[in-house]
């Protein structure tokens, strides 16, 4: 950690076109970014794809980085927005795919099956409403409530409320499963 350039300075240098700064920054942040993507999506494959989306768009996005927020905060905001976009795209895609016949239906079923392999927590998290899931994903990644509020554009109090709400819902999901041990896709 000695003499390490701060993320913010790297970000600013990269925004100004410094390639080595960009590479260093990406190396440094990739794993953290992936971790967050995993928590936001709940599946490794999805997370890899989301990370790819973010990586592809990052250079252009970085041009707008002004150094007024901590770089990780800024990066998380980019990631959360990218996750939103992805969900929206998937939603409209799913809608469009309705009525496309067995081929698409089977493919979606296969996807859903793959997702079941992930352990209980991520599965449960996938059932949370998106805003609770995003909030929990951030806070579980050691982001402070204040920073999470900054990233999601809500107040610190809302974050605290969402966390307690998320915990309540997780407990509920858990309780439901104890009562009815077969993992059911339709409980929400």
Partner 1 sequence: MSDDLDDLKAMMAAATPQPDAARRAENIALSEKNFDDLQGSRDDTRLTSERPRGGVFSGVRHMFDQLTSRAGLTASTALIAVGIVAFTPLGQDLLRPGDLTEALTETRFEQRAPTPEAPVMIEQTDAGQLSGQIAVEEAAPTESLADMAAPTTRTTPSIAPAAQLRSRKQVAQDGIAMGGLTAEPPMPQVLPDTETFANADASPVQVVADSPVSTFSIDVDTASYAVIRNSLTQGKIPPREAVRIEEMVNYFTYDYAAPADGNAFQPTVSVTQTPWNAHTQLVQIGLQGAVPAVADRPPLNLVFLIDTSGSMDSANKLPLLKQSFRLMLAQLRPEDEVSIVTYAGSAGQVLAPTAAGERSTILAALNNLGAGGSTAGQAGLQQAYATAAAMSKEGEVSRVILATDGDFNVGLSDPEALKDFIADKRDTGTYLSVLGFGRGNLDDATMQALAQNGNGTASYIDTLSEAQKVLVDQLTGALFPIANDVKIQVEFNPAAVSEYRLIGYETRALRREDFNNDKVDAGDIGAGHQVTALYEVTPVGSPARLNDPLRYADQDTAKSGSDELAFLRLRYKAPGEDTSQLIETPIVASDASDAGFAAAMAGFGQLLRDSDYTGTWSYGDAIALANATKGADPYGYRAEAVQLMRLAESLSRK
Q: Which is nearer to partner 1, 100 or 120 (CB)?
A: 120
Which residues, 116 to 135, sit near partner 1 by CB under 8 A? 118-122
Site string for partner 1, 149-178 (x = CB under 8 A): --------------x---xx-xx--x----
Q: Does 70 bind partner 1 (CB under 8 A)?
A: no
Among residues 160, 165, 137, 133, the alpha carbon closest in space to that of 149 is found at 160
Among residues 5, 46, 43, the alpha carbon closest in space to that of 22 is found at 5
Contact 125, 39 (CB under 8 A): yes
Q: Does 79 bind partner 1 (CB under 8 A)?
A: no
Tell me the C-alpha distance between 73 and 12, whole Å: 14
In angstroms, the Cα distances linking 32 to 12, 25, 37, 143 are: 19, 11, 9, 12
Q: Does 28 bind partner 1 (CB under 8 A)?
A: no
Question: Residues 4, 30, 113, 184: which binds partner 1 (CB under 8 A)?
Answer: 30
Residues making up the chain, counted from first to last: 188
Give me the least distance between CB of 62 and partner 1, in Å please.
8
Question: Residues 19, 89, 107, 146: which binds partner 1 (CB under 8 A)?
Answer: 19
Tell me the C-alpha distance between 162 and 159, whole Å: 5
The DSSP code for 105 is H
Q: Which is nearer to partner 1, 80 or 170 (CB)?
A: 170
Give me the least distance between CB of 112 and partner 1, in Å please.
18
Contact 126, 136 (CB under 8 A): no
**List of residues contacting partner 1 (CB under 8 A):** 9, 12, 14-17, 19, 22-23, 26-27, 30-31, 34-35, 38-39, 44, 47-48, 51-52, 55-60, 63-68, 118-122, 136, 139-140, 142, 163, 167-168, 170-171, 174
């Amino acid at each position: 950690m000695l003499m390490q350039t701060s993320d913010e300075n790297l970000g600013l240098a990269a925004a100004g076109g410094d390639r080595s700064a960009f590479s260093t920054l990406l190396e440094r942040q990739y794993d953290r970014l992936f971790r967050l993507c995993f928590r936001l999506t709940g599946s490794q494959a999805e997370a890899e794809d989301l990370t790819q989306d973010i990586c592809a768009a990052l250079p252009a996005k970085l041009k707008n980085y002004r150094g007024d927020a901590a770089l990780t905060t800024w990066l998380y905001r980019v990631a959360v927005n990218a996750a939103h976009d992805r969900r929206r795209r998937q939603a409209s895609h799913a809608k469009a795919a309705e009525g496309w016949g067995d081929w698409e239906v089977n493919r979606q079923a296969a996807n859903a099956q793959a997702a079941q392999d992930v352990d209980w927590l991520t599965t449960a998290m996938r059932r949370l409403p998106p805003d609770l899931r995003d909030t929990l994903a951030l806070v579980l990644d050691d982001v402070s409530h204040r920073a999470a509020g900054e990233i999601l554009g809500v107040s610190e109090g809302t974050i605290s409320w969402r966390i307690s709400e998320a915990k309540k819902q997780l407990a509920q999901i858990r309780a439901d499963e104890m009562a009815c041990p077969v993992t059911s896709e339709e409980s929400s």
